[in-house]
Amino acid sequence: MSAASSTVAASTGTLLSRVGPHLPGLALNALAFLVGLAIWWAITAAKLVVLPGPQEVFVRAIELAANGQLALDIFSSLKRVLTGFLLGAALAIPVGFLMGWYKIARALIEPYVQFFRMIPPLAVIPLAIVTMGIDEAPKIFVIFLASFLSCVVATYQGVISVDRTLINAARVLGASDRVIFPRVVIPASTPFILVGVRIGLGSAWATVVAAELIAAQSGLGFRMQQAQLYYDLPTIFVSLITIGVLGLLMDRLLQATERRLTSWQERAQ
């Protein structure tokens, strides 16, 4: 690293250390966004890589929004992601509780869960096409599988990680399993479950692009595949950024939910 680069890095670090504590989180997020945008502009302006610049991508986004393609693609991808993700999480949480609380259920279910975890959800696409056709079902199934496998492991880990002292103390006080489970196990495992839900959401968005290869007519992944055929880099960037923004907003909602449901938990500042 050159002396100039070291000086800039040191100055930036000093500035962030002085200003950071006094800026709210959203302001720091905005600052990070502007810095990233400036770096992107500088790289493309210097022609260090063959990529479209921010202005070109913004113009293409306006064009896609004006002709309705962007809204249609967002709606199609969101519908697939939310359907597969919600189905996966809704099934994963009770299955994870069963595995964690009952040894018999764990012995019966865990081998299948671990087996399918070793198989990438994208590898299931050919089987999904053959067995379910080329309609919406195989797309949603692949997203469901990716979400389910992420959530079920986190839920199971949360249940088995509950402090046995809490459970034993509740039993000493005369509480039955019907009381212990909702009053002790579920609250104590909630942080693990919510982490798994966030990971499952990320898996759903990561899978939707490949899922939309299955004879889709709309969707952000479909639009990227079409743009690839014509080397339309601005359209690819618009779809990528849109997926990132939607995923980030949904993750922020989950974080807010997590803070509300786990307000009793001590957090690092």
| H-state helical runs in 118-185 | 125-132, 136-160, 164-172, 177-180
pLDDT at site 9: 47
Topology, domain 60-261: MetI-like fold (1.10.3720)
pLDDT band, very low/low/confident/very high, at 8 (cuts 50, 70, 90)? very low
Strongest mean pLDDT among 70-84, 131-145, 158-172, 219-233: 70-84
Q: What is the mean pLDDT of the chain?
A: 84
Is the pLDDT score of 199 beyond 70? Answer: yes
pLDDT at site 162: 82
Over residues 26-52, the pLDDT tens digits come to 788 788 888 988 998 898 888 877 888
Candidates 153, 152, 192, 185; CA nearest to 168 is 185
pLDDT at site 18: 53
Candidates 245, 244, 231; CA nearest to 52 is 231
Is the pLDDT score of 21 beyond 60? Answer: no
Is the pLDDT score of 208 beyond 80? Answer: yes
Over residues 231-250, the pLDDT tens digits come to 899 999 999 999 999 998 99
Question: What number of other Cβ atoms are within 10 A of residue 149's Cβ?
Answer: 22
Say what percent of the chain tops pLDDT 90: 29
d(CA 50, CA 32) in angstroms, rounded, equals 24
Is residue 81 within 8 A of residue 142, CB to CB? The reply is: no
pLDDT at site 7: 47
57: its two tokens = 């991508």
257: its two tokens = 């939910």
pLDDT at site 13: 52
Is the pLDDT score of 15 beyond 60? Answer: no
The residue ranking higher by pLDDT, 3 or 148, is 148
Over range 42-69, report the average pLDDT: 89
pTM for the model stands at: 0.79
